[in-house]
Amino acid sequence: MTRTRKVRTVAPALVVLVALGVLPGCGIRATTVPVDVGPAPSRVSCDTPAQSGGQTPVQGFRATLELICGSQLVGVDRVVPVPEKRVVRDPVALVAQALLEALERTPSAEERDAGFTTGVPSGLTAGEPRPGDPAGTVRLSRKPEDLPPVALSQIVCTLAGSEAVSAGPGPVVLGGPDADPPRAWECTAAVRSRPESVPTLGEIVRPSPSPSPRA
């Protein structure tokens, strides 16, 4: 018997309220996770000091970005700017695009000193789902399975942590620019602790068949 994964439908109202609400700029804070990656000189803090309050406010929405620190994924809370060029109308794709742009940026000097890096390549974009895709599907400009494993782990776990994209705990449905069916990708404890070993292929997700009309 074929097992079908259920994909939650994203409520447009929730997406707009959570994802596109304009918030004042605030400092960056990250979970403090000391990670011993070798001898004492290689120990990193994975802790980022908050920015000073005198910086220019940023309009955007709150999100947790998954960056690499000590060979693991560590969440960093930020206010993510809404893309100035809104090339897509789909609210889920718009939030995903903003998160991708934030992941692509080089961490600040303070973050780098604390051990943070990112493996998400620049120029990656999020597009709207194709006709027939399950609700909440995000189509990337590159096939997810063609991305470096670390970059895919960052993207999957960042999108999975966004209520606007995933609508709660569960997989993230990603597809590429072609007509191949999208796949469901999960952010598990194993992915977070070993982001370089993300599974090569996620589970193919197909839309549920429409109920037959009554006679």
Q: What is the mean pLDDT of each run of 10 residues along the chain (215 residues)?
A: 44 41 42 40 66 56 94 93 75 94 93 94 94 93 94 96 80 94 93 84 72 50
- In the block, which residue shows the tokens 């400092």? 27
Ordered alpha helix ranges (H), 31-123: 91-104, 109-113
| Total-model pTM | 0.76
Q: Is the separation of the CB atoms in 184 and 172 below 8 Å? A: yes
Q: 214: alpha, beta or left, given left = phi > 0 and alpha = psi -120 to 50?
A: beta
Position 29 scores a pLDDT of: 40
CA nearest neighbour of 110 among 153, 81, 67, 79: 67
Q: Is the separation of the CB atoms in 55 and 25 below 8 Å? A: yes
Position 22 scores a pLDDT of: 46
Q: What angle do CA 46, 52, 55 make, to 5 degrees?
A: 120
3-state secondary structure of 100: helix
Q: Is the separation of the CB atoms in 159 and 139 below 8 Å? A: no
